[in-house]
């Protein structure tokens, strides 16, 4: 049954993303805010489809911690599920920091490119980060939230990747708070797995971390500590044998 539902969901994604991508091209001349809402509609549709077809439900913990102010979101990364959920359900427009090459992916990349997020040109080496800071400040001034996955890649449940400094550096350079987010989406939507398992994903939002008077290493440590401690609350069975 799980395999059948997973296949049905994959088909659902394919038959919805193609017309949606062409629609993105049609509404490209519209103002960005309207274009964003329309484009992110597909992410909402994908999350809805995951719930209805595969049984992946979700809940938010700590929603009151989301500030009505400029912020940078740093999130645990376990699956593709959160890349759909975050822009669809966070209260402000989010801007992914991502490698520019993703814009070339047919259909999905087209819509991404039209949302004016923060693509990184990795060929520029050290100058790439200055590009991130410049665009990140611009997006913050527009009322948008840059969103980064500090581990850089999807990490299986129960594991911890190395927390890279990019998000913390961006936060200290721009002087805004960091919102840490933990979740256990990998329990239902494993990395590089065709199978999607039914279950409840908990998205846990931590208290904003102030960056004033702190260096990037301290901010990065506080983000890591909060996220990894919270992961042990969400799925203690994953860590019990190791600690």
Cα–Cα distance, 143 to 62 (Å, whole number): 21
Residue range 217-233: mean pLDDT, rounded: 97
At 101 the pLDDT is 74
**Region 13-30: what's the mean pLDDT?**
89
Across the range 21-34, mean pLDDT stands at 88
- When pLDDT is cut at 50, 70 and 90, the band that residue 103 belongs to is confident
Cα end-to-end span (Å), the chain = 35
72-82 pLDDT tens trace: 999 999 999 99
Domain spanning 2-238: CATH 3.30.70: no
Distance CA(8)–CA(163), nearest Å, equals 35
Residue matched to tokens 């199978």: 195
**What's this model's pTM, rounded to 2 decimal places?**
0.92
Residue 242 binned pLDDT confidence (cut-offs 50, 70, 90): low
CB atoms inside a 10 Å sphere around CB 1 = 7
What single-letter DSSP state applies at residue 207? P
pLDDT value, residue 206: 98
Q: Which range, 2-11, 121-130, 234-243, is most confident?
A: 2-11
> In which band, very low, low, confident or very high, does the pLDDT at 243 lie, cut at 50, 70 and 90?
low
Out of 50-54, 68-72, 88-92, 129-133, least confident range: 129-133
Mean predicted confidence (pLDDT) in 216-242: 93
Residue in this structure with the two tokens 């990795």, named with its chain if needed: 122
- Cα(56)–Cα(81) distance, integer angstroms: 10
Q: What does the pLDDT look like over 28-72, one tens digit per residue?
A: 899 989 999 998 999 999 999 999 999 999 999 999 999 999 999
Domain ranges of the chain: 2-238
Q: Average per-residue pLDDT in the chain?
A: 91
Residue 160 in tokens: 């911890």
More confident residue, 145 or 129: 145
Mean pLDDT of 4-27: 92
């Amino acid at each position: 049954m799980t395999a059948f539902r997973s296949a049905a969901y994959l088909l659902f994604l394919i038959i919805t993303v193609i017309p949606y991508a062409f629609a993105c091209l049609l509404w490209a001349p519209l103002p960005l805010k309207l274009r964003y809402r329309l484009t992110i509609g597909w992410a909402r549709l994908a999350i809805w489809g995951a719930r209805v077809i595969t049984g992946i439900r979700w809940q938010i913990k700590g929603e009151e911690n989301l500030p009505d102010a400029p912020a940078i979101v740093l999130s645990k990364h376990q699956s593709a599920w959160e890349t759909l959920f975050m822009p669809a359900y966070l209260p402000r427009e989010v801007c992914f920091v991502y490698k520019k090459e993703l814009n070339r992916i047919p259909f999905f990349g087209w819509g991404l490119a039209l949302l004016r997020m923060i693509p990184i040109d990795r060929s520029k080496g050290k100058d790439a980060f200055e590009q991130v800071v410049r665009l990140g400040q611009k997006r913050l001034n527009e009322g948008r939230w840059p969103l980064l996955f500090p581990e850089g890649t999807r990490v299986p449940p129960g594991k911890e990747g190395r927390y890279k400094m990019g998000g913390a550096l961006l936060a200290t350079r721009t002087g805004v708070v960091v919102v840490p987010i933990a979740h256990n989406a990998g329990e239902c939507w494993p990395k590089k797995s065709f199978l999607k398992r039914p279950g409840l994903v908990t998205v846990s939002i931590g208290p904003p971390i102030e960056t004033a008077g702190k260096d990037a290493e301290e901010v990065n440590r506080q983000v890591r500590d909060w996220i990894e401690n919270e992961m042990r609350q969400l799925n203690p069975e994953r860590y019990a044998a190791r600690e």
